[in-house]
Structure 1
């Protein structure tokens, strides 16, 4: 049995991933951005061990979430599922909400939480249209942030060879972000994360890779560029004031 944290799991894909892990008998902690959302989440997934609270658009709340996660005990797996779409606006401190939630939050949680055995970062097929211009992070597109998520997963894999760190494209699925016209189901969108989180299949126990439909795919070239990965870690360390431990 694995102990798993799934961020952004109040509803949609994150809740689907969490529920499937609960159904398999794992010890699952979910996450919501507010106390009100946490109460709803607990009702939707009564088998969850706990629901942690923190608004990932807030630097202070993200750090507090890391502290709360550490205080609850070490996780075997952390799935960085939380994300927002285009048009999310700016945070209270003036940052791009896209950047704060989709990139800075998973970086901060990775850097400040006790190191797990497995890390999974949610990317998207739209990362292929993302820009690798790190000087333009103040106004990123959704595709830009998903490119950075995939590169972050690869960078962590290099930095921490004892951790399995991978990125996942869940596909275009029926969620609040994906819309009702999306062709994929929640089951299809959740399958790869659940597999990477729990399987001892040799195909799942690799690191620094990019997956879709439980199969490895080649990501955009920047994702596998070690110089870009290192530059990204440096930019994120400056933006948050937190270095990723060696």
Structure 2
């Protein structure tokens, strides 16, 4: 699984998502993250086919949406996603939200285990799962989640969750790593950017990588796509990493997974 990739949340189906995915692949991106609810799986699939890069060099992720949770409905949702993507196999399939009040994620997970055992997906995981959700799932599962994709940025460092995932060999992956642009005026980050000749976004994405968190910033702007990927030629010191850690306020831009139960 690449450490760095492209998220396509809110990228419009059609030319916008096709051109941004193709531009990203041309720039060297090898991981693309979509979801059934994004409504752009067809465009992602088209871009993959038109990119000229061999399928086995790319890492494609999608997710089962809340309304499709449950064993049979998840299997059907996977088939639908694969039809839209036009792929023979998937690299990573995720349960999009735990929906604790709905209580279907264990049945959903059984479907993911089947897909994995059948060789239709190379890795399975979850998204937006807190430690209690993971513990509950792992108490009954045959195959533990390989990835947990969560909201993660300097204002929401989720240390306890990160430690739990490390202890259980679950790879943490960040969505909304740039906090939807809300961190771009943060003085600590701006100062570090000046020191290294990098943007605030690049400093944040570098912090992700040094924390061993996979990151998938979203952009449809070719200039930003290039800038976001240009983070492998500098390194933050341990002191600078701690400074960024200190910006945590447990503040979210998305819903709290404990409370979000919309199907």
TM-score greater than 0.5 by the shorter chain: no
TM-score, structure 2 length as denominator? 0.35
Higher relative CO (Cα under 8 Å, sequence separation at least 6) belongs to 2
Larger Rg, first or second structure (1 or 2)? 2
TM-score, normalised to structure 1, is: 0.37
